[in-house]
Amino acid sequence: MKRRGFLASSLALATGLAAPALGQRAVLRFGLTPVFLSNDLMLLSMLEEYFSRVTGVSVELVQKRTYQEITTLLATRSLDAAWICGYPFIRFKDVLELLSVPVWQGRPRYQAYLIGADGRDASSIDDLRGDLHCFSDPDSNSGYLVTSALLADRKLHPSEFFRKTFFGYGHRNVVRAVASRLAQSGSVDGYVWEVLNEVEPELTRKTSVIAKSDWLGFPPIAAPKAAVGSPEYDAIREAVLNMHEDAQGRQILDLLKLDSFGPPEGTNYEKIAEFIQKVQDFG
């Protein structure tokens, strides 16, 4: 967990984003799952500074090794908001509220990728039978659920289809595992692979995309449902949705290769819910 705080700044007035009244609240806590940028100290520092400036209170970014840890903190209101995955959002939708969905290349959608070593002769999951396979996280949609649903269609569990599996706990780690031949194949977030292909092409060129899923709802920012309407919820929501209109916020989005953080209205996570049901029904 990385703990840093920034004092409220009068610069908030210059952004045109009026921070909602937070009373005596000393700090807001925002969670991040282990994504490929989790080790980018400059980005984390910019995020903390941006959120602190536009909300008017100190903001603490909370990072954990697994999706489950962040989701548990969020569901129990130990976090004010978090950037999570569509899979845990659907699982905990009774207690979580969509706050925002990132927009990437003009749409709030992404795909799950199956990847293998560069030059591998494979075009579908069926060609990966018997592999040593790397998943990202057991609560990741693209990094676990989509592949499990594909195998459920074939009446197979991952343990029956693959020779062996392991978790990399981070999509960048999955790409690294396949690129280094630690794994023969992997399940990864397509957005992450595509961004890595821009910023670390020397890594992705050692891998190849074998198959892509349908377009799915992008990993969202969520908040506890019980917090909706609170000053904390309103402050974070305003800061997120207006990020693309702020100079520093635009820098953050450029680093993330995102267009903006958009409103949640109209976002479709039904496909992810279908995957969950399919895996559960298969057992």
Confidence at residue 21, expressed as pLDDT on a 0 to 100 scale: 57
Confidence at residue 145, expressed as pLDDT on a 0 to 100 scale: 98
3-state per-residue secondary structure call for 118-154: CCCCCCCHHHHCCCEEEECCCCCHHHHHHHHHHHHHC
Size (the chain), residues? 283
Instruction: Enumerate residues 6+ apart whose C-beta is below 8 A from 155.
Output: 282
CATH number for the domain spanning 66: value is: 3.40.190.10
Q: Tokens 């996570």 sit at which residue?
A: 269
Task: Say yes or no: 151 and 65 in one domain.
Answer: no
Total domain count, the chain = 2
Confidence at residue 23, expressed as pLDDT on a 0 to 100 scale: 55
The segments of the chain whose pLDDT lies below 50 read: 1-20
Task: Say yes or no: 79 and 17 in one domain.
Answer: yes
Pair 25, 42: CB distance under 8 Å? no
Task: Say yes or no: 183 and 231 in one domain.
Answer: no
Q: Which domain holds residue 157?
A: 112-213
Residue 276 lies in a domain: no
Q: Which of 150, 180, 213 is the last residue of a domain?
A: 213
Residue 188 lies in a domain: yes
Residue 283 lies in a domain: no
Cα dihedral across residues 37, 38, 40, 43: positive or negative: positive
